[in-house]
């Protein structure tokens, strides 16, 4: 449910990390649809104002974050 999705420590941390670097980050896509329909999202998609280069810089510069390819 909505509360469970946003109680994730990792998700909250990711949002705060991007905000710390003056970038917006938002929940988008199927998760938004699912939440509006009252269903539990199975995965989430995020959109940010950060460029790909900015995103890499933010994640790689943070000792608590790790990229998976």
**To 5 degrees, how large is the angle CA 14–CA 18–CA 23?**
150
DSSP result, 53-65:
HHHHHHHHT-TT-
For 35-69, the pLDDT digits (tens) are 899 888 888 899 999 999 999 999 999 988 887 77
**In this structure, is the dihedral angle defined by the CA atoms of residues 27, 25, 50 and 55, taken in order, positive or negative?**
negative
Question: pLDDT tens for residues 21-43?
Answer: 999 999 999 989 998 998 888 88
């Amino acid at each position: 449910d909505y509360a469970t999705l946003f109680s994730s420590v990792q998700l909250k941390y990711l949002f705060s990390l991007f905000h710390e670097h003056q970038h917006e980050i938002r929940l988008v896509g199927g998760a938004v649809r699912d939440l509006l329909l009252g269903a539990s999202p199975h995965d989430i998609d995020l959109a940010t104002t950060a460029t790909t280069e900015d995103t890499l810089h933010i994640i790689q510069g943070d000792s608590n974050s790790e990229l998976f390819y």
